[in-house]
Amino acid sequence: MDIEIISKKKMYNGYAKVEQWQVSQNGQTKTVECVQRGQSVAVLPYDRSTDSVLVVSQFRPGAIDQGPSLIEMVAGMIDEGETAEQAALRETIEEVELALDGSALTKLGRFYLSPGISTETTTIFLVEADLSQVDVNKIGGLVKEGEQIRKHLISAQALRTMLASANGASVTLALAASALPL
């Protein structure tokens, strides 16, 4: 495939950065939009002793048709100078107040979430952890980022059932759940 980016124009420079590109593809010129995002991580804590997982929900504008939130994994952007593993550990503390053993992280892969519109990639981790001390009644997240994250401890089987019914879960969660022990 013969692709050439002819020009790029910044359209918006907020939380998301949107560019409009003029692209030549096999001799045809077209206009496309691209959301410039960095790299992110998503973490699914799993407690083998109770066969349960820790998932979260929070307001997500893209999922508004599911209600104001959807079930997803602990997740966030990788900061400059940070590894995916470091970001996974930091985000888990920030969002659900769970300190993890970094050596327990199992990297499941790195994926483009929506390459038709965005440059963002997400590295997904499964981690075995003791979830007995998680306070699901306490709202998590960083106040300075406007986060109001609800924590949910659910059985791995309930998660599998939810995913089979396409009940508004993120694709990253579905990928991570597929790695849970049967």
**What are the C-alpha distances in Å from 116 to residues 32, 33, 108, 179?**
9, 9, 22, 26
Q: What's the pLDDT score for residue 53?
A: 94
Mean pLDDT score across all residues of the chain: 87
Q: What's the pLDDT score for residue 50?
A: 96
Q: What's the pLDDT score for residue 177?
A: 76
Q: What's the pLDDT score for residue 68?
A: 67
pLDDT digits (tens, 9 = 90+) for 67-110: 767 788 999 999 999 999 999 999 999 999 999 988 999 999 99
* Average pLDDT of the segment spanning 157-169: 73
Spatial neighbors of 81 by CB under 8 A, at least 6 apart, are: none
Residue 62 has pLDDT above 80, yes or no: no
Cα–Cα distance measured from residue 167 to residue 84, given in angstroms and rounded to the nearest whole number: 28
* Average pLDDT of the segment spanning 43-59: 92
Q: What's the pLDDT score for residue 170?
A: 66
Give me the percent of the chain exceeding a pLDDT of 70.
93
Q: What's the pLDDT score for residue 151?
A: 93
Q: What's the pLDDT score for residue 166?
A: 59
**3-state SS class at 44:** strand
**3-state SS class at 117:** coil
Report pTM.
Answer: 0.86
Residue 176 exposure: Cα atoms within 13 Å on the Cβ side: 32
pLDDT digits (tens, 9 = 90+) for 107-154: 999 998 888 899 999 999 999 999 999 998 888 777 777 778 899 999
Residues classed as catalytic: 145
Could you tell me which of 72, 69, 3, 77 has the C-alpha nearest to residue 37?
A: 77
Question: Are the beta carbons of 41 and 61 closer than 8 angstroms?
Answer: no
